[in-house]
Amino acid sequence: MKSSYLAGRRAQGYLAGRRAYWHLGARGLRGYLAGAAAARSGDEMSGPALLLLGFAVTGGPGTGSGLLASLTIAGAAGGPVFGALLDRSRRPDRVLAWTLAAYALGIVAIQAAVGRLPAPAVVSR
């Protein structure tokens, strides 16, 4: 009985430290959901877009596959580090917004470089 009580208290402390979005109200929650949907859809669509870009520009599947693999590896390696950074920041919304802007600029730079630079310079394995 005592262990379940302590587990419940730990869970309450854990949940109390996390930011909850239900206090935003209907308008704030709609804004949060719209921003989250835009960020996630843009992030998830960039992989297939890079795959198709590499194939369309070079005519071979190697460059597109390399671009997609590089993006996947960067996300898998950097995801936990970025999550820890967001957890520790005072304004995680601003950190996320700046990071998404830098991510978009990186995708644009890759788009500009594919076909103009050699594939090993664009695709870092």
Amino acid 65: pLDDT: 87
Report if residue 12 sits inside a domain: no
**pLDDT tens for each residue of 39-56:** 888 888 888 888 888 888
53-75 in b/e burial notation, b at 16+ Cβ within 10 A? bbbebeeeeebbebbbebbeeee
Q: How many domains does the chain divide into? A: 1
Q: In the numeric block, which tokens belong to residue 62?
A: 């190697």
Report if residue 78 sits inside a domain: yes
**pLDDT tens for each residue of 52-102:** 888 888 888 888 888 888 888 888 888 888 888 888 888 887 888 888 888
Report if residue 80 sits inside a domain: yes
Report if residue 114 sits inside a domain: yes
Report if residue 11 sits inside a domain: no
* Per-residue pLDDT band at 121 (split at 50, 70, 90): low
